[in-house]
Amino acid sequence: MFALRGIAVSLTFFVLLYCLLSALVAVAWRSLRLLHAQFRHTKEKSLADLLFALRVLPLAASVLITFTVVVPSFQLLEPRSINIAEGIGAMPLALGVGALLLIACGSFRVIAAQTKTSRVVARWLKGAHPLDARAQTVTFRSRRESPPLTLVGIRNPRVLVSESAVAFLSHDELRIALQHELAHMQSGDNLKKLVFRFCPFPGMARLESVWSEAAELAADDAAVSNLDDAIDLASALVKLSRLVPVEAAPVCTVGFVTGSIGARVARLLAWNEAEAGKAQPMRIRPWYAVPPVLAALFCVVATYGPTLALTHEVTEWLVR
């Protein structure tokens, strides 16, 4: 009975924290766009990283708090000799079931996305052969029916280039387009999209869409190093956008022709070496972080005992 009560309490706290933090994120994330607009020389990758961190914050924080505060408070402060006849309240029982359903839903979404992606990619790879494009990752030339240029896979990422794309693009355009997909691979964008599937919550679709747009711009920035590259990448976007895709790409893939094509092309054509050189990621020097980290650790150690006691009081209120 003690173990069951502990599991119910932990799941209750987890789902409450997850829902509360997710609701706050769904409301507050737009301030990042306003902040980014004020710093015009900030790289898009910084915005993409911040948006991803904000999207997964509810799940990460809920798991961390549950295992570092809720579970220890119950294990240390809950009497083990409690009357065995004392049951679990209706609220923690309902919330615990809700937490299990949430975890099951996330797991199902991940498995479904992986299964669908594997099935579709296997069909795209039929008849494909390696493409000698001197790319820094495994690249395959696929059939015309596949998307023009797509990064697939997580553990073993590969780039698929359709025969239509090879026919449409010049050597330089294909090279810079592959650099764009390589930037997605180095950022782990396919894995990030899968993580989104594991932590569902209403109202997050727009945040994920904005992250996807920022990730595309960040990949453009990573691929381009001079004006010629910018023009070649813009030309590749225009040419490949004319190819009508046969089917929608599955979740665990990143296509080249995504996002706002017009905005991406206009941004590339306006590429300026001086402005690109000024753009800097939002970085905090390591030694700047030492004082606040030490202060946070001191606060955690000093208040850990009272925090456990307060958490246990809330636990007692929940299980009644």
Question: Over the stretch 150-175, which tens digit does the pLDDT of each residue have?
Answer: 898 888 888 888 888 888 899 999 99
Say what the pLDDT of residue 166 is.
86
**Is the pLDDT confidence value at 6 over 50?**
yes
Q: How many CB atoms lie within 10 A of CB 296?
A: 10
pLDDT interval class at 314 (50, 70, 90): confident
Say what the pLDDT of residue 42 is.
53
Say what the pLDDT of residue 45 is.
80
User: What's the whole-number mean pLDDT along residues 8-29?
Assistant: 90
Question: Over the stretch 165-210, which tens digit does the pLDDT of each residue have?
Answer: 888 899 999 999 999 999 999 999 999 999 999 999 998 998 999 8
Say what the pLDDT of residue 41 is.
46
**Is the pLDDT confidence value at 94 over 90?**
no
Of 83-87, 93-97, 270-274, 289-293, where does the model show the most confidence? 93-97
- Alpha-carbon Rg for the chain, nearest whole angstrom, is 24
- Higher-confidence residue of 137 and 313: namely 313
**Is the pLDDT confidence value at 320 over 50?**
yes
User: What's the whole-number mean pLDDT along residues 229-234?
Assistant: 93
Give dist(CA 80, CA 75) in Å, integer: 9
Q: How many CB atoms lie within 10 A of CB 293?
A: 11
- Higher-confidence residue of 141 and 147: namely 147
Give dist(CA 279, CA 290) in Å, integer: 26
- Higher-confidence residue of 37 and 78: namely 78
User: What's the whole-number mean pLDDT along residues 19-44?
Assistant: 72
